[in-house]
Structure 1
Amino acid sequence: MGLVYYGYPKCGTCRKAKKWLETNNLDFQEVNIAEAPPSVEELGKMIAASDLELKKFFNVSGTKYRELNLKDKLLTMTDEEKISLLSSDGMLIKRPIVFGDGKVTVGFKEEEFDKVWTN
Structure 2
Amino acid sequence: MVTVYGIKNCDTVKKALTWLAANGIEAKLHDYRVDGIDAAYLAEVEALFGWQELVNKRSTTWRNLDQATKDGLNQQAALALLLAQPTLIKRPIVLGAAKPLIGFNDKQYTNVFNG
Question: What residue is the counterpart of 2:4 in the other structure?
Answer: 5
Question: What residue is the counterpart of 2:57 in the other structure?
Answer: 60
1:43-102 Cα deviation digits (max 9, x unpaired)? 22122223xx422211212221121136x5244344123112212222111111111257
In the alignment, the residues of structure 1 paired with residue 18 and residue 37 of structure 2 have an alpha-carbon distance, to the nearest angstrom, of 21
TM-score by length of 1: 0.78
Q: CA RMSD in A?
A: 2.2
- 1:104 is aligned, of 100, 103, 107, to 100
Question: What residue is the counterpart of 2:69 in the other structure?
Answer: 73
Which consecutive residues of structure 1, in runs of 5 or more, have no partner in the other structure?
Answer: none
TM-score by length of 2: 0.81
Which aligned runs of 4 or more in structure 1 are off by greater than 6 angstroms? none
Aligned length: 115
Asked if structure 1 preserves the Cα contact closer than 8 Å seen for 2:93 and 2:101, the reply is: yes
Task: Call closer, same or farther: CA 1:28–1:105 in 2, change over 3 Å.
Answer: same
Which consecutive residues of structure 2, in runs of 5 or more, have no partner in the other structure?
Answer: none
Task: Call closer, same or farther: CA 1:79–1:17 in 2, change over 3 Å.
Answer: same
Q: Return 100-109 or 19-28, whichever deviates more.
A: 100-109
In the alignment, the residues of structure 1 paired with residue 60 and residue 114 of structure 2 have an alpha-carbon distance, to the nearest angstrom, of 33
The percentage of counterpart residues that share the same residue type is: 25
Deviation for aligned residue 1:33: 2.3
**Larger helix proportion, structure 1 or 2?**
2
